[in-house]
A and B are shown apart, each in its own frame.
Chain A
Amino acid sequence: MTNVLLILLIITLLYVSIANRIITYVRVLALQGFILFGVTYLQLKDIETWNLVLIMLETIIFKAVAVPLFISYLIKRNRMTRETEPYLPHFVSLIIVTAIVVVTILLSNSIKDTHLDKIFFIVSLSTLFTGLYFIASRKKIITHVLGYLIIENGVFVLSLAVGNEMPNLVNLGIMLDVFASVLILGIFLNKIGDVFRDADVDQLSNLKDY
C-alpha cells in the first residue's frame, strides 16, 4: 500500500509537468498532502502515538489544506493570470521529468543498503529534482514557491524513511515546513503581491552591481 501511494506521488509529478494552469499545481499539492498523510500513517509504526498524531495533523492541516487554500486565495486576491508560463513546451517538460525519474531509479540500483527502503529514496530524490526543475523552468514567482513546496514534500518522504529510528528528524522536517509556510507565504507573498502585481522573475532583476 505504501508503494502504491508513493508511485501515485510520482504520477502527480508527471501530471504537474504538463499542467497549464496554476490552480492545477495547487490541487496537486493538496493531493500530495493527502498522499503523504497516508504514507505517514502506514510507515511510522514504531513511534509514540502522540508524535504520530502530531505529524499526521501537520501533513493534513499544513500540506493538504492550509497552504493550498492560502495560495489559491493569493492567486485570486492578486488577480494573477492562470497560465504557468513555462520557458519550455510541456512535452519537453514531461520528457525531462520522466528522465529524472528514470535516472534516480538507475542511480538507486547502485546502492546496496539494507537500512533503506529504496522506493523512498527514489521517490524523494525524483521529487526533489523535479521541484528544482520547476523552479528553474517556470517564470512566475508563485510557481517558484510551488516548486519549493514540492521539494519539501520530497524531503518529507525521505525523512519518513528514517522516521521509525529517528522520529525527531521527522519533527525537524515539520519545523522546516512551518518555517517555509510562515516565511514564504505568511509574511512574504502578501507583500510581493502588493508591490509587484502578477509578479514574475523578470521584475526581480533590478539588483545589480552598478
Chain B
Amino acid sequence: MTGIYLISAFSIAALLFFNRNTFLNYLLVVLFGILQTAFTLYVCFNYKSTALVYFTFDSLGLLLLITLGIITLPALFHSYLYIVRHDETPQSRGIYFAAIVALITSITAAYLANHLAVIWIFTELTTLSASMLIYHHRNKLALEGTWKYLFICAISITFVFIGILFLSLSLQHAGSDDLSFSNLMLHKDELNQFWLKLSFLFIFTGFTAKLGLVPMYTAGIDAKDKAPAPAGALLASVLMNLGFTGIFRFYSVVAHTSLHSWANLVIMIAAVLSIFVAAVYMTKVMNIKRMFAYSGIEHMGIVMLGIAAGGIGYYAALLHIVLHAFVKSGLFFQFNQLYRTFQSKSILYTGNYFKYHPAGAIVLLLGFISATAMPPSGLFVSEFMIFRSLFESSHIAILIIVLVLLTIVIWAFGKNVFKILFLPVSGIDESKIPKINPWETLTQYAMLFAAIWLGLNPPAVFVDLLKDAVSILPS
C-alpha cells in the first residue's frame, strides 16, 4: 500500500504538471485528497508495522501524519479558492498543484522513514517542490525569495549529508554499516563519541533550515512570505514538523549516549537564540506574513527548549508542535482573506478589519490568542508544561530570559494584530473592498478549535500516542 501510495501520488503530481484541462486538474486534486486521507487511515490501522523496509508506522510518524492529513484538506480547498480568484493560466495552475502534491507526498514519506538517508532524500524533494511554490508569482521578489531558499536549503542539505558521513564513521567503530534508527539504537553504546559529536552538530544545523531555528531560519521566512498563503500554511506548519522529525529521531539516539547533556546544551543555545531573534524581529516587522513566520520561529524555539529540558518537556514539545501546526495553518489561511480585503501585506495599510469582514477578524483574534498561548488556547497547556520542565530541570535563568522575550513577542504581536483589527486606516476606498463569504472561514475555525480541543481535553488515543512517541527518550 505504501508503494502504491507513493507511486500514485507522484504520478498524480506528474499528470498535474502536464495537464492543461481545468476539469481534469481539479479531479486529480480531489483524487489526491482522497488518496492522502486513505493512506493516513491505512497507517492508523497498520500502526507499528513496517512497509518497504524503510518506512515504519511508529507513534511520532503517525501523530504528525494525522496532523498533515487534517491540514491537507483545507490547504487544497484554500488553494482552489486562491487559484480561481487569481485567473491563473492553466500552466501555472498545473505547476502549483503538482508542487503541492509532491510536497505533501514527500513530507508524508519523510515522516514515516526509519532511515536517516531516506529522510534526507525526501527532505531534498521537499526543497524542490517548495521552491516551485515560492516561485509561483514569477516576479523579481519571488525569484529572490526562491533563490535564497534554494541556496540555504542546498547548503543545509549538504550539511546533513556531511553529518551522515560522520555518523557512518562513528558507526564503523561499532562494526556496522546500517544507518537505520533501530540499528543505531542497537549499537548506541559502541558509537565513536568524537564522530557522533561532529555528526550531531552538522545534522542539527542542517535540519534547522526546515525547522526554523537559528542559524538557518532565514530561508524559511522569505519562503513563507513569497509563497501563496495556502502553500505558506504548509511551509509554516507541516514542513517545519519535518525538520523536527529529522532532529528528534536522531536526538533520540544521541540521548542514549554520554553526549546527552552536551546535545541538550547545543539545542538550548539554538532555541534561546531563536526566541531572541523572533522577539527582535517581531517588534520591527511590518509585513503580516513575515510576522506569522517569525512567530513560528519563536514556537520552534519553545519546542526545542522542551526537548532540551527533558522530563515532561518531551511530551509537551510534541503536543506543542502538533497544536502549533493547526494554529499557524489557520492563520495563514486567514491571511488570504485579509489580503483580499486590503490588497496589502503591510500592517500600515490595514486596519478596522472587524468592520469589513467580522468572521475573518474573529479568526485573526482567536489565532492571536492561540499563537501567543493565552488560555483557552491549547498551546497554553503545552507551553506551561515546557516552562515547568525548565523549572524542574533547574534552568531558572533560561526560564526568566525566555519569559521576558516571550513578553516582548506577545506585546509586538498584540500591537500589530489589534491595529489590524480595530484601528481605522486612512486612504482606503471602502467601495472597493469585496464582500467575503463567511463560510470560507469555516475551515479556519475548525483548525483553531482543533488546537483548543486537543490541548484542553485531549482524547485518550492522542495522549497514548504522545506518550509512546516520547517513550524512546531516556526519562
Contacts and interface: CB of A to CB of B under 8 A. Distances in A.
B286 interface: yes
Interface string A148-170: 10011001001101100110110
A141 to B, nearest CB: 7
Contacts of B161: 155, 159, 172-173, 176
A115 B173 contact: yes
Contacts of A119: none
B147 A210 contact: no
B263 interface: no
Given A168-B117, A176-B157, A179-B128, A192 B143 contact: yes
A166 B148 contact: no
7 contacts: A113-B169, A128-B162, A162-B172, A184-B150, A184-B151, A188-B146, A209-B286
A207 interface: yes
Interface in B134-170: 135, 140-141, 143-148, 150-151, 154-155, 157-158, 161-162, 164-165, 168-169
Given A166-B168, A183-B150, A210-B287, A204 B144 contact: yes
B147 A176 contact: no
B162 A165 contact: no
Interface of B is mostly: helix
B320 interface: no
B284 A207 contact: no
B194 interface: yes
B169 A115 contact: yes
B346 interface: yes
A180 interface: yes
Given A162-B168, A209-B286, 20 more contacts: A115-B173, A148-B155, A151-B155, A158-B165, A162-B165, A165-B177, A172-B120, A172-B121, A176-B158, A183-B150, A183-B154, A184-B151, A188-B146, A188-B147, A191-B143, A207-B145, A207-B148, A209-B284, A210-B284, A210-B286
Contacts of A141: 147
A88 interface: no
A95 interface: no
> For chain B, which range describes its interface: under 10, 10 to 19, 20 to 34, or 35 or more residues?
35 or more
Nearest to A191: B143
Nearest to A203: B144
B58 interface: no
Contacts of B121: 172, 175
A209 B277 CA distance: 13
Interface string B228-244: 00000000000000000
B73 to A, nearest CB: 30
A192 B147 contact: yes
Interface of A: 111, 113, 115-116, 128, 141, 144, 148, 151-152, 155, 158-159, 161-162, 165-166, 168-169, 172-173, 175-176, 179-180, 183-184, 188, 191-192, 195-196, 204, 206-210
A169 B164 CA distance: 8
Interface in B428-449: none
Nearest to B284: A209
Contacts of B145: 207
A180 B346 CA distance: 35
A139 B12 CA distance: 41
A105 to B, nearest CB: 17
A136 B145 CA distance: 18
Contact of A195 (B131, B140, B148, B169): B140
A207 B134 CA distance: 13
A12 B131 CA distance: 33
B285 interface: yes
A173 B346 CA distance: 43
B419 to A, nearest CB: 14
A169 B168 contact: yes
A159 B165 CA distance: 6
Given A179-B124, A192-B143, A165 B148 contact: no
B346 A210 contact: yes
A183 B157 contact: no
A183 B155 CA distance: 13
B383 interface: no
Contacts of A162: 165, 168-169, 172
Given A115-B169, A162-B168, A204-B148, A209 B290 contact: yes
Contact of B169 (A116, A152, A176, A207): A116
Q: Which 4 A-B pairs have the closest CB atoms?
A: A210-B286, A209-B285, A115-B172, A204-B144
B281 interface: yes
B298 interface: no
A36 B242 CA distance: 34
A169 B168 CA distance: 9
B144 A209 contact: no
A81 B151 CA distance: 22
A196 B147 CA distance: 12
A63 to B, nearest CB: 15
Contacts of B127: 183
B341 interface: no
B192 interface: yes
Contacts of B299: none
B192 A113 contact: yes
Contact of B165 (A169, A180, A196): A169
A187 to B, nearest CB: 8
Contacts of A210: 284-287, 346
Contacts of B225: 207
Nearest to B173: A115
A152 B162 contact: no
